[in-house]
């Protein structure tokens, strides 16, 4: 039943359930890392942090926004590309990828492993609603849920088999709308983050 709704014909159903799963993973990672991992343990350990840097790009909020947006669009592209493959149980790999990303983000928050320190380890709280990261995760989830129809291969053991999914106009339309909406969310979330980064250097 659970898998049925993760693979539901309607995007809102898939998105809602997948977002719920991803947020549970995120909150668990945040809580456990806050309780058990040392502060800063993941600092500089991810490719995203290395690409994001620890300064204001070109001294400009606009350039910083473009840098953050490019990084996030690239991440989203990876999650969409992962949907070309399905794991055992017919689960799109993009689903697994966004859950893994949420796990890592939760651990980064819980250990204050940001290039710009947040002033100590951050306990789980509703303050996350004021962070652009939560909305970036939602955009990734939306893109992953919207693009399950692009799957080409199913992984079975060490090998895979080619898949052939029907090209239904309504599914393609829903997919395109979902991806465009995900990009729009990222545009605003990254702008928000760029302003926060700029304020940290004032």
Q: What pLDDT is stored for residue 1 in this prediction?
A: 60
Angle formed by the axes of helices 132-146 and 11-36, to 10°?
Answer: 140
Residue 30 exposure: Cα atoms within 13 Å on the Cβ side: 20
Encode pLDDT of 143-172 as tens digits. Answer: 999 999 999 988 876 667 787 777 777 788
Rounded CA gap, 76 and 72, in Å? 6
Cβ–Cβ < 8 Å for 174, 40: no
Residue 170 inside a domain? The answer is yes
Residue 49 inside a domain? The answer is no
Residue 94 inside a domain? The answer is yes
Quick one: what percent of the chain has pLDDT higher than 70? 86
Rounded CA gap, 18 and 29, in Å? 17
Residue 147 inside a domain? The answer is yes
The edge-to-edge listing of strands for the beta sheet with 159-162 is 85-86, 153-156, 159-162
Can you say how many angstroms the Cα of residue 91 is from the centroid of all Cα atoms in its chain?
A: 17
* pTM, full prediction: 0.90
The pLDDT confidence band at residue 72, using thresholds 50, 70 and 90, is very high
Q: Which of 201, 190, 198, 199 is nearest to 71 (CA)?
A: 190
Rounded CA gap, 159 and 165, in Å? 19
Instruction: Kindly state the DSSP code that residue 92 receives in the 8-state scheme.
Output: B
Q: Which of 145, 129, 127 is nearest to 182 (CA)?
A: 145
Residue 50 inside a domain? The answer is no
The pLDDT confidence band at residue 49, using thresholds 50, 70 and 90, is low
Q: Which residues contact 97 (CB under 8 A, 6 or more apart)?
A: 78, 79, 82, 144
Residue 47 inside a domain? The answer is no
Residue 46 inside a domain? The answer is no
172 vs 94: which has the higher pLDDT = 94
- Strands 159-162 and 85-86, by their bridges, are unpaired
Rounded CA gap, 100 and 47, in Å? 14
**Other Cβ atoms within 10 Å of 112 Cβ, number:** 20
Q: What's the domain range around 75? A: 2-38+59-200
Domain count of the fold of the chain: 1
Residue 83 inside a domain? The answer is yes
């Amino acid at each position: 039943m659970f898998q049925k709704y993760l693979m539901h014909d309607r995007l809102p159903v898939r998105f809602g359930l997948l977002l719920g799963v991803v947020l549970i993973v995120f909150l668990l990672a945040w809580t456990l890392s806050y309780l058990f991992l040392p502060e800063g343990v993941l600092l500089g350990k991810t490719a995203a942090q290395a690409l994001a840097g620890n300064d204001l790009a070109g001294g400009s909020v606009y350039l910083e926004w473009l840098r953050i947006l490019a990084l996030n669009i690239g991440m989203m592209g990876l999650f969409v590309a992962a949907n070309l493959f399905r794991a055992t149980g017919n689960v799109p790999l993009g689903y697994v990828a966004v859950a893994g990303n949420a796990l890592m983000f939760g651990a980064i928050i819980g250990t204050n492993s940001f290039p710009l320190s947040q002033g100590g380890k951050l306990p789980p709280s509703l303050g996350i609603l004021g962070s652009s990261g939560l909305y970036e995760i939602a955009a990734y989830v939306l893109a992953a849920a919207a693009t399950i129809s692009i799957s080409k291969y199913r992984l079975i053991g060490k090998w895979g088999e080619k898949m052939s999914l029907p090209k239904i106009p309504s599914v393609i339309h829903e997919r395109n709308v979902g991806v465009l909406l995900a990009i729009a969310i990222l545009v605003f979330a990254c702008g928000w983050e760029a302003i926060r980064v700029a304020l940290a250097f004032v």
